[in-house]
Amino acid sequence: MSSINLPLILTLAVLVTGVIWLIDILFLARPRKIKLAAVDQQFQHIELADENKKTAYETAKATAGKEPVAVEYAKSFFPVLFVVFFLRSFLIEPFQIPSGSMIPTLQVGDFILVNKFAYGLRVPVLNKTFIPVDKPKRGDVMVFFPPHQPKTYFIKRVIGLPGDKVRYTNNVLYLNGVEVKQEFVKKGFPEWGSPCMAMRQQFTLVNEDLSGVVHKMHKCDQPSSLGIDGSWVVEAGHYFMMGDNRDNSGDSRVWGTVSEDAIVGKAFAVWMHWEDFFSIPSFDNVGVVK
């Protein structure tokens, strides 16, 4: 997902516009009020029914009360920026899916909504929890910052919780020594450029049951290097993440577990699909993320 630090940019924009507005209230507005009072006093005995005198009065008031350009912009943008800042920092933030690592659950070009308070309210930019709400659960689709790219948003599924022993062998998942059941759905032909096609294989679509959370998962008929064999123990305060497109997902199998401090929120809905600028937006797959 995007590597632009939008929270930092938005926070700075809110601070700058807010400080400018505050400076105006404390220091700049008073001289303008004095000038306006002087204009009113100057024109108090003048007959304003006269159009020329009325125009002169209005011009004088506009000149006396004119705000600096920076103040005008700050007053215009601060309320909007603050509302956006509040919504995306504490409530809901939109994202677009840029890769196929979560196919078939999420497609390239899906626009999703992320619940920012599902796991607790966090300090913007610093991302530290100041009001805990809940912990990630197995099967959640979560947005986070991975350890190898701490400024880039990633989205994967929560597989392992703190203390879990995770094993992935021949594209079969084991949690704490117990095989996670997979129910066959169908076989299919992979998209161009996918690992399955590179290995000249079909893919298999299955329903995987993660402690009662059933979701669809893609795997090649023969495991890629990501699916042959691996074992991990999830340390305290961390989570093991995997993509639903198991042979085409750089995840905790590659770069390790995700710290609680790196969590952004829980994906809960797809609200639009728009793959690129030249395509037509679609609402066919709108719904809850499972």
The token pair at 117 is 């308070």
Question: Active-site residue 101, yes or no?
Answer: yes
The alpha carbons of the chain give a radius of gyration, in whole angstroms, of 28
Query: Out of 89, 116, 156, 219, which one is annotated catalytic?
Result: 156
Q: Cis before residue 150, ω within 30 degrees of 0? A: no
**What is the number of H-type helices and E-type strands within the chain?**
6, 17
219-to-43, 79, 105, 154, 223 alpha-carbon distances in Å = 82, 48, 13, 20, 7
Cβ atoms of 216 and 185 within 8 Å: the answer is yes
Query: Out of 33, 61, 75, 101, which one is annotated catalytic?
Result: 101
The token pair at 77 is 């943008």
Cβ atoms of 249 and 157 within 8 Å: the answer is no
Catalytically active residues, by annotation: 101, 156
